[in-house]
Amino acid sequence: MARSNSSNAWLKEHVNDHYVHMAQKDGYRARAAYKLLEINEKDRLIQQGMWVADLGAAPGSWSQVAAKLVGGKGRVLALDLLEMAYIPGVDFIQGDFREDDVLQQYTSLLGDRQVDLVICDMAPNITGNAVTDQARSMYLCELALEFARDHLKPGGSFLVKTFQGYGYNEYIAAMRDTFATVLTRKPKASRDRSAEMYLLGKQKKE
């Protein structure tokens, strides 16, 4: 089956991508690792000994970064609909974040503990319909924010990937209700043509 022009362009861009080559060299599973590394360098989110929830973790590059930074006394709890190969220092639950039984299974890893940081790089399966895709994306973001409200300790931080479009401004307003500070981040590893924007909530309110 012949590839479309758009998929050929994506493949060429991917093969020639600086961050793809860096990921291969540095042992990260995806170029997305450098988005988290850059944001963390600027905002100092991840510290030794922290407990970190990684929502939408597969293939695992953010969990790789987080596990290295929290060290042996920290813990990373990862969740994704897709399978994810084992990463030392990471507990992984496979399932649909939107389903209550999967969420309960995931939160049981916490016991009675609240996490220090929630990171979320989730994105829906793309249909090609911009309105549908944006609605699905914002729904996942809303679920992630709800999780952060319930399981993030006071003073903790929340980093989430969003896409600018319908519901984006309302979502920022909802984050401001929960966090003392809300910042936008567009790391260099984000492709210029991408509408993705990372929102960072700091200092969760009590």
From the list 12, 161, 202, 205, the catalytic residue is 161
User: Is 80 known as a binding-site position?
Assistant: yes
Q: How far apart are CA 65 and CA 52, in angstroms?
A: 11
79 three-state secondary structure: strand
User: Is 62 known as a binding-site position?
Assistant: yes
The answer to whether the CB of 145 falls within 8 A of the CB of 105 is: no
Dig out the tokens for 40 from the structure: 């963390």
User: Is 60 known as a binding-site position?
Assistant: yes
DSSP 8-state assignment for residue 99: S
User: Is 71 known as a binding-site position?
Assistant: no
Q: Would you tell me how many other CB atoms lie within 10 Å of the CB of residue 54?
A: 32
Q: Where are the beta strands (DSSP E) in 131-178?
A: 152-163
**Listing from the earlier edge strand, what are the strands of the sheet with 179-185?**
90-94, 75-80, 51-55, 115-120, 152-163, 196-204, 179-185
DSSP 8-state assignment for residue 156: E
Q: How far apart are CA 70 and CA 184, in angstroms?
A: 24
The answer to whether the CB of 32 falls within 8 A of the CB of 121 is: yes
Is 204 one of the annotated active-site residues of the chain? Answer: no
**Would the CA dihedral through 67, 70, 73, 79 be positive or negative?**
negative
Binding site for S-adenosyl-L-methionine: which residues?
60, 62, 80, 96, 121
**Catalytic amino acids?**
161
Binding site: which residues?
60, 62, 80, 96, 121
